[in-house]
């Protein structure tokens, strides 16, 4: 299989049509790729194919993989990715031909990703881990930041796919490097969001206007992704509609913590961030948007 194989109209299997997977797959369909899609939610598959009639609905990961030049996973975590690719019933590997390329664009544990790469290589299938940052809005407009782990040759093969979904594509190192960097990026993102929310809670109690605070942060040294992208839009407005859950942020922080533990590194702030977000997930409940961390900060502020 040559590098030119992955330009449109190459056939791409896409597993996972959730909040992020759906617009990412739509970008590929719009770019002219032939899509074979699968999700455990048949409703999600039906809605996608209804909106993109050129895409083919399939009944399993294996069926999606059959005849595909490349396969993309956008699933909740690495354990589910492994089930879909190797260990589950009708796993995708059974349908992939030798020479196919797998791109795991989920947020997975990088140590597990390294093992997955070795296991797929034994079947003649290459793996790139290519997690994304930017949220639903940037998935829709195709401007995601994509962090890639794997070989230069496989990245170049996959570049037409990635270009359809992302604006910044960075080779971070060998297998697992993309997933490691994504988890560490989300540690910074999560920490900045908590810091902003706690500042807003204190400032509002003092009598400051939350919107004014965010505007000042954005013209001062406190500026961050949280203040610029989430401050007025999702937190001050209390719409809490970023499209990324508290539960997934807590999961990504656990991944970052697992990497540090695997390397026998003591990281106190990372440990504190993990504890904070895991406790918030427990309090806010399933389905809470990660920008609702403001509500958790407010709960803590009122504790005796």
Q: What residues are annotated to the active site? A: 182
* Measured distance CA(183)–CA(131) in Å, rounded: 9
* Measured distance CA(143)–CA(120) in Å, rounded: 29
Tokens 């590929």 belong to which residue?
28
- DSSP conformation letters of 93-114: GGTPPTT-EEEE-S---HHHHH
3-state secondary structure of 224: coil
- Nearest 5°: phi and psi at 303? -70, 140
Q: Is 1 exposed, middle or buried (0-12, 13-18, 19+ CB in 10 A)?
A: middle
* Measured distance CA(106)–CA(139) in Å, rounded: 13
| The two three-digit tokens of residue 256, written as one number | 């970052």
* Measured distance CA(87)–CA(233) in Å, rounded: 41
3-state secondary structure of 15: strand
How far is C-alpha 89 from the chain's CA centre?
24
């Amino acid at each position: 299989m040559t590098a030119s194989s992955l330009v449109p109209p190459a056939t791409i299997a896409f597993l996972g049509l959730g909040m992020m997977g759906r617009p990412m797959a739509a970008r590929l369909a719009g770019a002219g790729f032939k899509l074979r899609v699968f999700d455990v939610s048949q409703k999600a598959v039906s809605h996608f194919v209804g909106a993109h009639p050129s895409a083919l609905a399939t009944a399993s990961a294996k069926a999606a993989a059959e005849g595909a030049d490349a396969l993309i996973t956008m699933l909740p975590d690495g354990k589910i990715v492994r089930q879909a690719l190797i260990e589950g019933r009708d796993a995708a590997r059974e349908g992939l031909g030798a020479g196919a390329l797998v791109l795991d664009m989920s947020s997975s544990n990088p140590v597990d990703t390294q093992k997955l790469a070795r296991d797929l290589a034994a079947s003649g299938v290459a793996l790139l881990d290519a997690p994304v940052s930017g949220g639903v809005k940037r998935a829709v407009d195709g401007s995601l930041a994509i962090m890639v782990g794997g070989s230069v040759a496989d990245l170049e093969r996959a570049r037409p796919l990635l270009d359809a979904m992302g604006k910044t594509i960075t080779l971070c190192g060998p297998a697992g490097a993309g997933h490691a960097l994504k988890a560490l990026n989300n540690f910074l993102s999560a920490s900045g969001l908590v810091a902003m929310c706690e500042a807003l809670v204190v400032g509002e109690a003092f009598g400051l206007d939350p919107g004014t605070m965010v505007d000042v942060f954005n013209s001062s040294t406190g500026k961050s992704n949280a203040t610029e992208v989430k401050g007025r839009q999702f937190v001050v407005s209390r719409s809490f509609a970023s499209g990324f859950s508290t539960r997934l942020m807590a999961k990504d922080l656990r991944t970052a913590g697992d990497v540090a533990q695997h390397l026998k590194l003591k990281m106190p702030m990372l440990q504190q961030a993990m504890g904070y977000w895991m406790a918030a997930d427990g309090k806010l409940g399933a389905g809470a948007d990660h920008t609702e961390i403001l509500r958790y900060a407010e709960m803590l502020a009122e504790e005796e």
